[in-house]
Amino acid sequence: MSMRIRIELSIMMFLQFFIWGAWCVTMSTYLGEDGLNFGGFWKGQAYSTTAYAAILSPFFVGMVADKFFSAEKVLGIMHLLGAVLMFYVSKLDQPVVFFFVLLAYALCYMPTLALTNAIAFNQMKDPEKEFAPIRVLGTLGWIVAGLIITFVLDKAVFKDLQVEASPIPMKMAALASLVLGVYSFFLPNTPPKSRGQKVTMADVLGLDALRLLKDRSFAVFVGASLLVCIPLAFYYQLANGFLNATSMEGVAAKMTLGQASEVFFMLVMPFFFARLGVKKMLLVGMLAWVARYLLFAFGNADSLVFMFYGGILLHGVCYDFFFVTGQI
């Protein structure tokens, strides 16, 4: 892979996760008492939109990218649509309308996670060695989003406003989505692999992928993924609001320590691949989720604040050892 392509893919990853980090982390606080005050039910529904989209969108967008259009073009269109929808979401204050427009946005965003991976993997000869240094730029994008919210927008630009409880992070995400939407059309060409082939109902429903469950190791991995994603959903939805409620200060910036940990462990993943192997890495990743929730359960913002920091810093092991290892 040439240096030019490596840089292009790194910028793509940076913007991809900058967008998600900009709106997802602080939305819990924005929908809480200091913001729109939607209540627990609608806050949960708002975060459920990404789960619904992750299930529904591949049936359409995955088929389109695989059969008809180049992945980078589909990526660009999805992010341009997402920019419009996210900006519209930032203007809403009615729970029902907020939910459905955010769901429409999620249906545009969630497929782009697979599309960016597809574009990156298409350029690689040795993913185990080449993917992590590029994917780590996505983590840096998430970190930069949190730091901008806390130290630029909250501390410098909007000094009299609690930015985390405002729609400003969503507007920042919309702007970044617009930039990535335009940039995507200049990425390396990733043509559809199944162009010209007949589209069957099995393709649309993903039944070919379900046949992989006949393999015992793959079935165990899918089952473990399902269980791990349950606490993952709680972390993404409630961690920011939970830490703010404990009177911890600068939460958005401090939560980026988790992504800093993610950067470190992603860079040393080739070492662990060689020493531990995939199965042990997945197991360590799952055990890390248990440890971090124990730290959050028994910590506080005073004498035991180190436990909160420990729970945040374990994010690198939790995410890299399970999800990134699984992707590779």
For 273-289, write each residue's pLDDT tens digit: 878 888 888 899 889 98
Give tens-digit pLDDT for 288-322: 989 999 999 998 888 898 999 999 999 888 888 88
Q: Tokens in use for 130?
A: 């080449």
Rounded to two decimals, the pTM is: 0.79
Lowest model confidence (mean pLDDT) among 132-136, 196-200, 219-223, 255-259: 196-200
Q: What is the pLDDT of residue 7?
A: 93
Q: What is the DSSP letter of 37?
A: -
Contact 116, 13 (CB under 8 A): yes
Report how far residue 130's alpha carbon sits from residue 145's, in angstroms, rounded to the nearest whole number: 25
Q: What is the pLDDT of residue 196?
A: 58
Residue type, 110: M
Contact 113, 62 (CB under 8 A): no
What are the b/e assignments for 252-264, b being 16+ CB within 10 Å? Answer: bbbbbbbbbbbbb
Q: Tokens in use for 29?
A: 């606080």
E strand or H helix that includes residue 287: helix 278-298
